[in-house]
Structure 1
């Protein structure tokens, strides 16, 4: 009996429209202010906001009692949902926003690693969902912790520590970059 299921999870802090424009994370391309196309939220004291996350899809089939699975994990930046206040930003702030995008890439790599290293049953839907939920919760927590500890980039020494930490983590998970 052949079973085929496909699931798509899009993970990010603000739910964009299903066909929102997105850019994939690329180690050879840093964000620029031109990438931030959304309307600034004047109600926020923040001077910029990055909307990024991980898109994930998988399918599996069972044939002759053996399960095979295919999956795709991408880290995305959503330009139309990301914004900045032009008169208040700087290259330093842009690097803070890039680090948010890098954190999402780190969790894309962690998801690829988990998918590669997990032995799934012949009915993996719940198992995959649990991995996804755990990593998405951890990604959101790390994004929040980053902003809290850096005071949204205002604490420069801590900001620099965070940038180094995330760069080191990306290097540690380099095997699982797309």
Structure 2
């Protein structure tokens, strides 16, 4: 499956939206993005002595689509912000991982953290669409863009390297 890792120097273009549009919806574009998470544990005598984690924010071109005759740069900005919100949550996740204390429950803790961040991400994506009326509310859209930019900057040290 093709995937684009979030990168501060790359903005989505309509050519990245390669999925088949859904004719049964009023939506003119859909961004499919998500967070992948993996970890490894270092053990000595069955005791966990360390860990490594990898958290990435991805955009999935084959699952993202647009109705090309109905989209414009404003809508593209709306879709880019969905991807930026995914990156924001990857940064929040990385920040939370730095506070994890070594213990034998790390696998469960990591799973719970991943589940929680996925729920928080879905909730924010939903609120963003509601408050921007799927980009129709220009003022709501701008408010979200500014807010996400501030939050991304605040978590800059946790940004994706991609």
Query: So what's the TM-score if we normalise by structure 1?
Result: 0.87
What displacement does 1:59 show?
A: 1.0
- Contact 1:67–1:122 (Cα < 8 Å) also in 2: no
What displacement does 1:66 show?
A: 4.6
Distance of 1:66 and 1:137 partners within structure 2: 28
* Cross-structure match for 2:97: 115
* Cross-structure match for 2:110: 128
Provide structure 2 residue ranges, at least 5 long, that are not aligned to the other structure. none
The range that moved more, 108-117 or 138-147, is 108-117
* Cross-structure match for 2:8: 27
- Contact 1:96–1:159 (Cα < 8 Å) also in 2: yes
What displacement does 1:120 show?
A: 3.1
Moved over 4 A (4+): none
Distance of 1:174 and 1:72 partners within structure 2: 17
Q: Which has the higher contact order (CA 8 A, sep 6+)?
A: 2
* Cross-structure match for 1:11: none
Match status 1:175 vs 2:160: no
Match status 1:37 vs 2:18: yes
Query: So what's the TM-score if we normalise by structure 2?
Result: 0.95
Q: 2:63 aligns with which of 81, 95, 104?
A: 81
Provide structure 1 residue ranges, at least 5 long, that are not aligned to the other structure. 1-19
Distance of 1:51 and 1:136 partners within structure 2: 13
More helix by share: 2
Distance of 1:33 and 1:50 partners within structure 2: 11
What displacement does 1:133 show?
A: 1.2
What displacement does 1:148 show?
A: 0.6
Spell out, residue by residue over 1:50-69, the C-alpha distance to the aligned partner (whole angstroms, 9 max, x if none): 00011110011321545210
